[in-house]
A and B are shown apart, each in its own frame.
Chain A
Amino acid sequence: MREWRVAMATYQEFIQQNEDRDGVRFSWNLWPSSRLEATRLVVPVSCLFTPLKERPDLPPVQYEPVLCSRANCKAVLNPLCQVDYRAKIWACNFCFQRNPFPPSYAGISDVNQPAELMPQFSTIEYIVQRGPPNPLIFLYVVDTCLEEEDLQALKESLQMSLSLLPPNALVGLITFGRMVQVHELSCEGIAKSYVFRGTKELSSKQIQEMLGLTNPSATGPQGRPAAPQDPAVTCRFLQPVHKVDMNLTDLLGELQRDPWPVPQGKRPLRSTGIALSIAVGLLEGTFPNTGARVMMFMGGPPTQGPGMVVGDELKTPIRSWHDITKDNARHLKKATKYYDALANRAASNGHSIDIYACALDQTGLLEMKCLSNLTGGHIAMGDSFNTSLFKQTFQRVFSKDHNGEFRMAFGGTLEVSTSRELKVSGAIGPCVSLNAKGPCISENEVGVGGTTQWKICSLSPSTTLALYFEVVNQHNAPIPQGGRGAVQFVTQYQHSNTQRRIRVTTVARNWADAQSQIQHIESSFDQEASAVIMARLGVFRAESEEGPDVLRWLDRQLIRLFMFHLRRSPFLQVFNNSPDECSYYRHHFVCQNLTQSLIMIQPILYSYSFHGPPEPVLLDSGSILPDRILLMDTFFQLVIYHGETIAQWRKAGYQEQPEYENFKHLLVAPVDDAQEILQTRFPMPRYIDTEHGGSQARFLLSKVNPSQTHNNLYSWGQETGAPILTDDVSLQVFMDHLKKLAVSSAA
Chain B
Amino acid sequence: MNVNQQPPMASPYGQPQPGYSQPSYAPLGGGYPGPYGPYSGPATAYQPGAPQGSARGPPPVSTNQAYSQYAQGDIQNGPPPMDHSMAQPAQRPPVCQPYSHGAMNLSGPHPSYPQQYGVQPSMQQMTNQMSGMQVGSGPLTSAGPGYAPPPSSEPPISAAYSAAAPPSYTQAPHPVSGAPSQPPPPSEPAAPQPYYDGPPPSQQPPFPSSAPPPSQPFPSSSPYSGPPLPANPGPLQSLDNSPSHLAPSPAQQTFPNSAPPPVSQALYSGPLPPPDLALSHLPCIPCPVPCRPAPRPTPLPPGPMQQPPQPGMHGGYPTQQNGAFGQPRGPQPGYAGPQYPGQQNYGAVPAPTPAPTQKRLDPDSIPSPIQVIEDDRANKSSEPFTTGVKGQTPPLVTTNFQVKDQGNASPRFVRCTAYNIPCTADMAKQSQVPLAAVIKPLAMLPPDETRPYMVDHGEAGPIRCNRCKAYMCPYMQFIEGGRRFQCGFCSCVTDVPPHYFQHLDHTGKRVDCCDRPELSLGSYEFVATVDYCKNNKLPQPPSFIFFIDVSYNAVKSGMVNIVCQELKTLLDYLPRENPEADSVVRVGFVTYNKVLHFYNVKSSLAQPQMMVVSDVSDMFLPLLDGFLVNVNDSRMVIESLLDQIPEMFADTRETETVFGPVIQAGLEALKAADCAGKLFLFHSSLPIAEAPGKLKNREDKKLVGTDKEKSLFQPQSGFYSNLSKECVAQGCCVDLFLFPNQYVDVATLGVVPVSTGGSVYKYTYFQAEMDRERFLNDLRRDVQKPMGFDAVMRVRTSTGIRATDFFGSFFMSNTTDVELAGLDCDKTVTVEFRHDDKLSEDTGALMQCAVLYTSCSGQRRLRVHNMAVNCCSQLADLYRNCETDTIINFFSKYAYRSLLNTPTKTVRDTLVNQCAQILACYRKNCASPSSAGQLILPECMKLLPVYLNCVLKSDVLQPGADVSVDDRAYLRQLLSCMDVSESHVFFYPRLLPLVKLDGGSLPMAVRNSEERLSKGGVYLLETGLYLFLWVGANAQQELLSNIFGTPTFSQIDPNMTSLPELDNPFSQRLREIIDSFRSQRSRYMKLMVVKQEDKAELIFKHFLCEDKSASGGASYVDFLCHMHKEIRQLLS
Which positions in A face B, CB cutoff 8 Å? Answer: 179, 181, 184, 187, 189-197, 200, 202, 206, 209-212, 216, 219-222, 254, 256, 259-261
Contacts and interface: CB of A to CB of B under 8 A. Distances in A.
13 contacts: A181-B622, A184-B612, A187-B648, A190-B644, A192-B611, A193-B610, A195-B611, A202-B615, A209-B614, A210-B615, A219-B594, A254-B606, A261-B624
A192 B624 contact: no
B532 to A, nearest CB: 27
B609 A196 contact: no
Interface string B597-629: 111001001111111111100101011111000
Given A195-B622, A219-B654, A190 B648 contact: yes
Contact of A179 (B607, B618, B623, B655): B623
B624 A260 contact: yes
A221 B620 contact: no
Given A193-B609, A195-B613, A219 B656 contact: yes
Nearest to A257: B625
A195 B599 CA distance: 11
Given A179-B623, A259-B625, A211 B609 contact: no
A286 B608 CA distance: 28
Contacts of A202: 615
Contacts of B614: 194, 196, 209-212
Nearest to A197: B620
Contacts of B595: 210, 212
B668 to A, nearest CB: 11
B737 interface: no
Contacts of A193: 609-612
B429 interface: no
B615 A191 contact: no
Given A202-B615, A210-B615, A211-B614, A221 B653 contact: yes
B618 A189 contact: no
- 8 cross-chain pairs, A with B, having the tightest CB-CB distances, nearest first: A210-B614, A195-B622, A259-B625, A192-B610, A194-B612, A220-B653, A191-B609, A195-B611
Contacts, number: 83
A269 B266 CA distance: 75
A190 B655 contact: no
A668 B615 CA distance: 59
The interface centre, meaning the residue of B606, B613, B615, B641 with most chain A CB atoms within 10 A of its CB, is B615
B1019 interface: no
A192 B614 CA distance: 13
Contacts of A189: 607, 644, 647-648
Contacts of B625: 256, 259
Contacts of B607: 189-191
B1071 to A, nearest CB: 42
Interface of B: 552, 594-595, 597-599, 602, 605-615, 618, 620, 622-626, 641, 644, 647-648, 653-656
Contacts of A190: 599, 607-610, 641, 644, 648
Contacts of A221: 552, 653-655
A195 B598 contact: yes
A254 B656 CA distance: 32
A252 to B, nearest CB: 13
For chain B, what secondary structure do more than half of its interface residues adopt (helix, strand, loop), or is it mixed?
A: loop
Given A181-B622, A193-B609, 15 more contacts: A187-B648, A189-B648, A190-B599, A191-B608, A192-B597, A192-B611, A193-B611, A195-B598, A195-B613, A196-B613, A210-B615, A219-B653, A221-B552, A254-B606, A259-B624
Nearest to B611: A195
B615 A200 contact: yes
Contacts of A209: 614
A48 to B, nearest CB: 47
A193 B598 CA distance: 9
A181 B609 CA distance: 12
A220 B594 CA distance: 12
B653 A197 contact: no
Contacts of B611: 181, 192-195
A259 B626 contact: yes
A562 B947 CA distance: 105
A46 to B, nearest CB: 49
A214 to B, nearest CB: 11
The interface centre, meaning the residue of A187, A196, A211 with most chain B CB atoms within 10 A of its CB, is A196
Contacts of B644: 189-190
A36 B650 CA distance: 77
Nearest to A196: B615
Nearest to B594: A219
Contacts of A219: 594, 653-656
Contact of A192 (B552, B612, B655): B612
A254 B625 CA distance: 14
A195 B623 CA distance: 9
B688 to A, nearest CB: 12
A196 B616 CA distance: 10
A254 B613 contact: no
Given A195-B598, A195-B612, A197-B618, A259 B623 contact: yes
A562 to B, nearest CB: 53
B618 to A, nearest CB: 6
A278 to B, nearest CB: 11
A209 B653 CA distance: 16
Nearest to B593: A219
A518 to B, nearest CB: 67
Contacts of B654: 219, 221
A261 B602 CA distance: 16
B898 to A, nearest CB: 41
Given A179-B620, A221-B653, A256-B625, A194 B605 contact: no
A216 B652 CA distance: 11
Contacts of A191: 607-610
B621 to A, nearest CB: 9
B555 to A, nearest CB: 11
A256 B644 CA distance: 22
Contacts of B597: 192
A196 B613 CA distance: 6
B653 A222 contact: yes
B242 to A, nearest CB: 53
A275 B721 CA distance: 34
A206 B552 CA distance: 23
Contacts of B605: 254
B1130 to A, nearest CB: 59
A466 to B, nearest CB: 44
A194 B613 CA distance: 6
A209 B690 CA distance: 12
Contacts of A206: 615
Contacts of A210: 595, 614-615
Contacts of A216: 653
Contacts of A195: 598, 611-613, 622-623
Nearest to A206: B615
B357 to A, nearest CB: 64
B671 to A, nearest CB: 13
The interface centre, meaning the residue of B599, B606, B613, B656 with most chain A CB atoms within 10 A of its CB, is B613
Nearest to B596: A195
A288 to B, nearest CB: 21
Nearest to B613: A195
Contacts of A181: 611, 622
Contacts of A184: 612
Contacts of B623: 179, 195, 259
A261 B621 CA distance: 14
Contacts of A261: 624
A222 B647 CA distance: 20
A192 B615 contact: no
Contacts of B624: 259-261
Nearest to B641: A190
Contacts of A196: 613-615
A436 B1055 CA distance: 76
A261 B615 CA distance: 23
Nearest to B654: A219
B622 A179 contact: yes
